[in-house]
Amino acid sequence: MKSRILPSLLLLACTPAALAASTVDLSVKGQITPSACLPQFPGGALIDYGKIAQQDLNLETATRLPLKTLNVGIVCNGPVRYALRMRDNRDGSAMVNSEIYYGLGFDASGNRLGVYSMTFDPKQIQASNTAQVYGTESTTGGLAWRTSNLNPIDIGSRSYLGFTAVEGSVSGPTALGILGGNVTVQTVINARKNLDLSVETPLDGSATLEVVYL
C-alpha cells in the first residue's frame, strides 16, 4: 500500500497547481484608538527600606519586611477599557518562580536577594465615573475573565488585571476614566544562609506598570 501512495504524492507535488503556489500573503491588522491612559505614582515610585542589619534577617527562612503602600493613578482622556500588568526589569532575579513576584537583584556572589509583590485592593481603589469598582483578572490575554469581586489581586507579569463597575461580571473591565488609590507592596528577603552579605548589598527591584488597551 505504501509503495502505491508515495508515487501519487510525488506526482501531486509536481502538478502545475502546486508549483504555482509559490507565494503567500501576510496581513497586518490592529486598531489605533484616539483614547490614551497615563499610569503614574503621584506620591513617587520609590519603596525605600533604608539600611537593614543582616542580623535582623532570619537565618534559615525568608524574612518579610514591613508592608509599604504606594499611591497609584491611571489618568485617561476619556472612558477607556483597559487592563494592567507589570514587567519585571530584574527578570531572573526573583527567588520564587511566579508571575506575581518580582526580583530584587543579586548579591555579590550572584545569589537571588528576594522578591516583592504589589497588591491592588478594589476597596482601596476609586474611579471617577462609578461609585465602586470590582477587580477582575484574565490569564488568557483577555479572552476570558474571572468573576469580578472585591477581593485583593496581586498584579502579574502575564495576567491582565482590570476593574469593572459591575459586581459578579465575567465580561471583563468596563470603560473607566480616572482611576486611583493605594496599593500594597510586600517585600521578602531570602534566608540569610543563602546570601553573601560580606559587603553592603543594595536591594535593586525595578518594574514597569503597563496599560493594556482592550
pLDDT at 182 over 60: yes
- CA gap 165, 169 in Å, rounded: 9
pTM for the complete prediction?
A: 0.84
Per-chain mean pLDDT for the chain? 90
pLDDT in tens, 39-49: 999 988 999 99
* Phi, psi dihedrals of residue 145, rounded to the nearest 5°: -130, 145
DSSP 142: T
Tell me the residue ranges of DSSP E strands in 89-206: 102-103, 114-127, 134-138, 153-154, 160-164, 179-189
Q: 124 in helix, strand or coil?
A: strand
pLDDT digit string, tens, across residues 87-126 = 999 999 999 999 999 999 999 999 999 999 999 999 999 9
All three cell numbers of 131, joined, read: 461609585
Domain boundaries in the chain?
35-213
Query: CA 31 to CA 148: how far, in whole Å?
Result: 27
pLDDT tens per residue, range 6-49: 444 444 455 555 556 688 888 787 666 667 899 999 988 999 99
Task: Work out the burial of residue 6: count CB atoms within 10 Å of its CB; fewer than 13 is exposed, 13-18 middle, 19 or more buried.
Answer: exposed
The architecture that CATH gives domain 35-213 is: Sandwich (2.60)
